[in-house]
Amino acid sequence: MRPQLLKVIILGDSGVGKTSLMNQFVNSRFNSQYKATIGADFLTKEVTVDNRLVTMQIWDTAGQERFQSLGVAYYRGADCCVLVYDVNNSKSFENLNNWRDEFLIQASPHDAERFPFVVLGNKIDVDESRRQVTQKRVLAWCQSKGNIPYFETSAKEAVNVQEAFAVVARNALQQEAEEQLYVDYPDPIQIDRESTQSYGCNC
C-alpha cells in the first residue's frame, strides 16, 4: 500500500512564522533571518499516523496581501488547513477570521462545516510580557468555529511543532476516512437509446 498524500495549506499573516514552522517540521531547522515567501513553497514529508504511512505535502503560502489572489490554485483539493498567528500580535489573530473565510471561499471544500482546520499560536518563545493574545481568547474563538484544535508553538525552539502536525495529519486522515467513498456502481449503458448516440464514427 502506497502512502496516501495529504495536502496541507498553511495560512496566516506575513511574518507570523509559517515558513519557519514548516521548516522546523520537515527539516528540523530554524533560521532567524526573515525572508518573505514569494507565492508559495512546498515541502513533502512522510509521517506515520496510527500505523499508516502518509506523505504530507505542505504548502507554505505568502502572507502578504498582494499574493493572496494566487490562492485558488494552491488551495484546491487541500485536506487540511493550518491557520497560524503570532501570539505577540493581536492583529494577526484577528485576521484569522479572514484567512479562514478566504480559504473556505476559494477552496470551496465539499463539507465546509467540518473541514479540518488547526490553529497555531506561534512565537511563544518570546518574552511572556509581550504577549498580546491570551489563550482564553483563542480557545473561545476556536470553540465558536467548531472546536478547532489549538496549539501554542515555537518554531525557533521546536515546541509543539511535531505534535501539531501530527494532529493535522490525523484530522486530515479522519476526514478522509469518515467520508466513506460511496462508489456507486455506474448505471448500465443504455445502448438502445439511439437519440443520445450519433451515427458514424466518433473517433
Partner 1 sequence: MTSAASRTRPSSPTRLVIPSIHPTPSLSNIKDHRSSTLSVPLLPTPGLESSASSVTNLDLNEGILVHDVDPDVDTTRSEDTAVGQIDDVASEESRRNLRDHLRRTLSVQKEKSDAKRKLDQWLDISPDTTLEGYRPREYFVLTDAGKPVFTSRPDGKDVENSSSIMGVVQALLSVFLEDGDKLRCINTGRLRITFLLRSPLYYVCASSWGEPESVTRSHLEYLHLQILSIVTASQLRRIFERRTNFDLRRLLDGAEPFLFSLLDRIELDLAMATSSLNCLQLDQSLRVRVAEALVPTSKMKDTLYIILVARDIHILVNTVYSPSIVNSPASASWIPVCLPKFNPAGFVNAYITFFRRPDADQKSYQRTAADNETDVAETISASNVTENSQGITSWQTTRLIEDSGIGLVCISGGGEFETVRAWCDTVTQKLSDDGSLEALVKAVDSGKTSYFASQLGIPGLRHFVYKSRPHVQITLPAFEEPYDTLDAKRRIVTLYQIIHDAIHAKSGQTGNLKLQYIRTEKEIVMGWITQPFELYVVLSPRLPKTAVINAANAVTRRAMANMSSMFRISLSKIPLSRSVFLPIQNVHSRTVTTTVSSAFRRPDVPSPRGLFVNACFLLVIPTSLAPGQISTPQDFLKAIGRSSETKISVDSWDAFWRTSGSDMKNAGLSIQDRRYILWCMEKFRQNQPIEVFAHEPRPKKKIRGRGPAVQFGKRIRSRRDQ
Interface contacts to partner 1, rule CB under 8 A: 2-5, 7, 38-40, 42-46, 55, 57, 59, 65-70, 72-74, 76-79, 102, 105-110, 176, 179, 181, 183, 185-189, 191-192, 194, 197, 199-203
**Residue position matching grid coordinates 511574518:** 15
Q: How far is the CB of 126 from partner 1 (least distance, A)?
A: 31
Give the nearer residue to partner 1 in terms of CB position, either 17 or 109. Answer: 109
Task: Determine the Cα–Cα distance for residues 162 and 200; give it in Å rounded to an integer.
Answer: 61
Q: Single out the residue of 165, 161, 163, 164 nearest to residue 30, CA to CA.
A: 161
Give the nearer residue to partner 1 in terms of CB position, either 136 or 199. Answer: 199
State the burial class of residue 51 (Cβ atoms within 10 Å of its Cβ: 0-12, 13-18, 19+).
exposed
How would you classify residue 39: left for phi > 0, otherwise alpha for psi between -120 and 50, otherwise beta?
A: left
Cα 115 to its chain centre, rounded Å, is 10
Q: How far is the CB of 169 from partner 1 (least distance, A)?
A: 14
Q: How far is the CB of 85 from partner 1 (least distance, A)?
A: 21
Give the nearer residue to partner 1 in terms of CB position, either 144 or 191. Answer: 191
Task: Determine the Cα–Cα distance for residues 168 and 84; give it in Å rounded to an integer.
Answer: 13
Q: How far is the CB of 7 from partner 1 (least distance, A)?
A: 6
Give the nearer residue to partner 1 in terms of CB position, either 29 or 137. Answer: 29
